Structure 1
Amino acid sequence: MIHSAAPVHDSSGKLIGVLAGGVLLNKNLAFIDRLNEIVYPEEGLMLGSQGTATLFLGDVRIATNVRLFEGGRAIGTRVSAAVHQAVLDQGHTWLDRAFVVTDWYVSAYEPLIDSQGQRIGMLYVGFLEAPFANAKHRALALVIGLFALAMLLAGIFAILWARRVFRPIERMHATMTAIEQDDVSARIGPVSSRDELGDLAAHFDRLLDRLQAQAASLKRWGDSLDAQVANRTAALEQAVSDLKAAQSQLVMNEKLAAIGQLTAGVAHEINNPVAVIQGNLDVLRDILGVATEPVQPEIRLIQEQVHRIRLIVAKLLQFARPQDYVGYLEPVAPAQLIQDSLLLVGHLLKRGTIAIEQHLDSVRTVLCNRNELQQVLINLMVNAIQAMPDGGRLTLAAEDWDEADMPVGLRLVVSDTGPGLSASERERLFKPFYTAKKPDGTGLGLWVSLSLVERYGGKITVDNETKQGSRFIVWLRFEPLPMDF
């Protein structure tokens, strides 16, 4: 309530009492309506807005003319959290828009303070924001509409005016585009403009006529010159091609002739000591008899290698036509083949610190000539050992070769940890007489090895990363494929 008190004095001025009175504000609708009339007199708000007033005790409305959804007054409802914090908690005056019960109002909240200086409530007055917001939106829409209309009219006028200016330019652009697409007869033609653009269009047509005449003349001369150049070029290319073919044939003939002479001499020189070794071996076995039993495996190995030397000598004489030779075929197991090959290159392994790693994961056998396959494997192992002069790891593996879940054959893998091969070296690796900078190499090892493997329908591939070693893979089928000679 609103409370007031006044002192009462007698005729001598002595205080004899106190006169106190108050007005209860809870649900005092007459008080709040009168307050609303004072703040918002009739016709005081424009655009049909409606003024409201409310008296709060704490944050609860105790007297108000704000209406609820059903039309009754919103007595007992509470103020929003934002207003509560700003006015009741912080003691500020709120002058801003706020959501009151059902709508947004332009609002003012003032804290009410009792005789002890405590904030006990608030006094609120405000009016509906919606009419003013609607009026603002309508005004803004009107301004935007007028601006758009003005821009549209200006654009139409500018387009109509610009078309008169740009029409000759568009015709010139179309003519130039047609000429770029080889339409030499395209012209601008007469234009309605009589100003500088019209003169430029006429001058451009005359220039195009002159250029067309000059181009036709140049084309006739060019066609004649092209015909002569084509004839001379064809003759020159044929001559160069014939010369290269003759040079290649000459070089190959010379190499093959040198190989023939070399192999004939080598065969003669090797066959003599081989015959001596074979004869002495037979004498040794006859003289010692049963005493050779402890070294019988070594003698057998010597006998096999002597036979292998004879086969190699025979193949040296047939390098020019390797496909004419077909050796004895037998089932060959990769595990025993790898062990025999390691035994034959053992003297090279002793020269450096080279570790041997074996992965014999395949138990399949292939039908081929054992000596030829051993020759291929030893050649790859020797190359791998020579690639690791400072030591490294030589990896030998036997793997199954399957395609589309069907067994095809097996793979023999020879890997080293040397410096690897460059791209240019890999391209020439299997060509004859390429030695990869080996001072003691002939350049025939890999070429011969590839020829032997291809004879059985296989192949040799190299998987290499520079500075990480090389990995040669010999792909062998179960049985040789038929060859067409």
Structure 2
Amino acid sequence: MTPDAVLHRYVTLVSERHVDTEAIYRLVAADADLLSRWLTSLDCLADPNQLRQALGDLDDATLIGISRAQIWAVAPLGTTARLGFDQWRSVLRSSCLAISISNAVDYPEAEAAQLRTLLAISGIKLDHDPLLAELIDFRGAAPELLADAHPLLRMFAVIEALEHQNEAKAAALASELFGIEPGDFATMVEDAEHRCAVIVADLALDDELGDNWFDELWIQAQLLAFSSVLGRQRDMAGLIEAADYAARGLFGQEPGYFFLDAEHGVLAGAENSEFDALTIGLARSTSLIAEALRAERPMEMLEDVTGPVVDRQVLRRLRAERATAVPMIDAELPVGVLVLRLSDEDRANATDTMAAFATELAGWVNVRRWDERQRTTLFDRYRARHEKRLREIVHEANNPLSIINNYLHILELRLEGMPEAQEQLKMIGEEIRRTSDIVRTVVDFPEVADGPTGTPPEPRRFEVNDVARKVIELLGGRAVATGIEVSQNLVPGVSVVSDEDRVTQVMTNLARNAIEALHEGGVLQIETVPGVYRSGRAGVEFVVRDNGPGLPPEVLERLYEPKTTTKGPDHAGLGLHIIGRLVAELEGAIDVRTDSERGTAFSVFLPNLT
């Protein structure tokens, strides 16, 4: 048990605005209880380099918060017996002997040997440190059985002899296991005493403190210790991760979290945890976890074949025979239940600390839930405001389209005797109608869960060649004006059951992109292919091909994503993104072949829709 002098110094260090990480390391490396809790929290071996690195990776705020949590984890309450300063110093001196012996026998990890010896003398075993576990498991082995054992196991046997017997017995064992002369061993013991004195002086410890200097502040300070860590988290996932971090420091374990779903009347295991598949009914359940929240007090759970299966499942996931279910309640508002292992070694006040932890966590859970509800509300308001604005834009855009359509009708009447003009006017009318339909789809906002589409496709059979001819007619003038040749390779009888407007939009966008990529003398070709089968579905294919410079790799990597365009203010960088979406809506597929020498070809497969 950490003595008051060490705790007092620890509190002083972590109360500073700017934390001295190395000073914390030196103090932690001198106290077995603090050291074991830090190693558990950081999940690292009793290795000085690993521990220093892990401490250094923490920002000041996190280091302070976790350090404070460690204080209240090791601090005793009331009249609980604690280690006297002289006893603590004796353990530290014995661990320093590991450094002296390591140096004498050329053991390369002297400082790590000291840390493991400090923990082993105190009977502390960390499951994630196999070598430390062996020190505990093989302690007390007969000297003749240690002859070929790991050097640290032999060192520990010598140190234990000094700690529990006398220096003469330890010297004899050092001679037997390492060939160290008694006189040399006496020097090592003196060196260890000197090293211990230097550490104590360097730590500036005050051993004249009273026994109860901080007991009155226990609960309040304990809450502050981890509250600062929890309060910095911005979502539930981060909050649970921080709570795990604090709980490992406070209790040496990660709890099971069950959060109240008031709408459905159940306690649900935290997402992405071992408990996320477990749901406990609140009203009638015989589970002690549910009873803890109903009764608003902790319930002790025992592994019992007659107990509720869900409780036994939780115990199994906690790898425990005993546990306590602690309600999380914030200002009389139930939030959920924490479940933590219990053992015979727990302090008498452990359940009080667990209850305080649960109450503090409940408050932060409610804060984060409120934040998430606020973000959802703000998003809904933002969405509603922009939907309203888009509807206004659509309404205003349809007005000039209607006027253009009216004048187009007048032109059709005046040019009634000119068939070629009539055909062109008809094509213009179809494009105006298609534009109006596209504009109207802007306001068909689906819910996020509904996927990307607004209106579903309207399938009917049509000739893909007719679409190709119309696209060539629409864009041919622009192509010719820039010196680009437009050709077609249309196989007769290429028909499909699909959405003609969407197909026209896809082909038009691909052809327009090709024209923009070509220079004078370039060639654009549209091809159609009947009788194509993909994934067991019958359909057709069309190809838009150019002999331009090809697509660079960085464009190919994100071909169908919205992007910033370099084409100028008339382009939004959405063309290929829209093409990809439309093809998906048509249940089709799109492939691209590109080469800097031969240009680019987009092939679009269109299945027959039912």
State the TM-score, normalized to the length of structure 1. Answer: 0.47
State the TM-score, normalized to the length of structure 2. Answer: 0.38
Structure with more of its chain in strand, by fraction: 1
Structure with more of its chain in helix, by fraction: 2
* Structure with larger RCO (C-alpha < 8 A, sep 6+): 2
